[in-house]
Copies of this chain bind each other. A is one copy, B any other.
Amino acid sequence: MTKTAVVALGGNALTRLGQSGTAEEMADNAATMAACVNDVIEAGWRVVVVHGNGPQVGNLALQQEATTAVPPQPLALLNAMTQGELGSLIASAVNALRGPGAAAALVTHVTVGQADPAFAAPSKPIGPFFTADEAEHLAGTRGWIMHPDSGRGYRRVVPSPEPTGIVEIGAIRALVDAGCLVIACGGGGIPVDASGGHAAGIDAVIDKDRAASLMARLLGAQALVLVTAVDHVMINYGTPRQAALRSITTDEAESHLRAGQFPPGSMGPKIEAALSFLAGGGEWAAITSPGLVAATLSGEEWAGTRIERSPSQVVQGR
């Protein structure tokens, strides 16, 4: 029986810190990602890739606002555009290693609840930085919520609601069964309301690790791999007792999380995504850097952080 792994890659893996986001840079980075994914396939896994899109949607948002000659598109459609753009780049990079047609990128919509509390407290910054005057103007004309960010100016913030369903889950399953490496839920998915109809009014960003966790649960995947910039999850970070976590149980992860070991903006959501996958029946989750993904999946001791379900844990229906 072939096992399935959902692998989530950051948008920074495609446009790295300090890069401007040219097609050449993104194609080079996609080739590096494809090599990492290829190692996983070679180890016998079926793979579904979820990718971020932060830098790319930021560039698009900036270009959309640079002219009034044509109408700017809402965030949901910018997200859809990056699914096409990055899906094409990643699929082509995988195809270059595994042959034409090995990969398939699917435009993916993810449902969110209209009563999600995130809608009352937008917190996810997107797009370019603006001056205070520009921010005030945009708040007035476009209804955007603008927050000061990193002392570099103002940015638009949008809600980041919990994903409740994946509209194309049947199509994703059909493609996985057909042997495709599937690229889906890019940028966390295009948010739609519960009916699945397009909701151009939903200006929100779904966390891609949460979307990957939900997809892994819905597919009945064995493993969820959250790829990030660091090799391991650390505890007591920056103190003399700092330590890398190699293999931990869900009980241990939950206890570290409650103890405030993982910052809310970075490692916290990844741990939560891993825990929710394991609570839903997943076998194990991994958090590691691109170079250690294959070794972590093979269970190498020296590789990244693996989280396994505690023997006591009750599995929720899948």
Binding site for B on A (CB under 8 A): 20-24, 27, 30, 59-60, 62-64, 66-67, 69-74, 76-77, 80-85, 87-89, 91-93, 95-96, 99-101, 104-107, 109, 111, 128, 165, 167-171, 174-175, 177-178, 180, 183, 190, 192, 195-198, 200
Q: Give complex CA distance A198, B29 in Å.
A: 13
Return the chain B residue nearest A88 by Cβ.
B80
Among B72, B82, B92, B175, contact of A174 (Cβ-Cβ < 8 Å): B175
Among B63, B84, B196, contact of A67 (Cβ-Cβ < 8 Å): B63
Q: How many copies does the complex hold?
A: 2
Q: Give complex CA distance A307, B192 in Å.
A: 40
Among B22, B71, B96, B169, contact of A101 (Cβ-Cβ < 8 Å): B169
Q: Do A20 and B71 have beta carbons less than 8 Å apart?
A: yes
Q: Chain B residues near A71 (CB, 8 Å)?
A: 20-23, 59
Q: Chain B residues near A21 (CB, 8 Å)?
A: 70-71
A-B contact pairs, 12 of them (CB 8 A): A23-B77, A27-B198, A27-B200, A59-B70, A67-B67, A77-B89, A81-B84, A88-B109, A88-B190, A91-B109, A101-B170, A171-B180
Q: Do A84 and B70 have beta carbons less than 8 Å apart?
A: no
Among B66, B82, B100, B196, contact of A81 (Cβ-Cβ < 8 Å): B82
Q: Do B109 and A197 have beta carbons less than 8 Å apart?
A: no
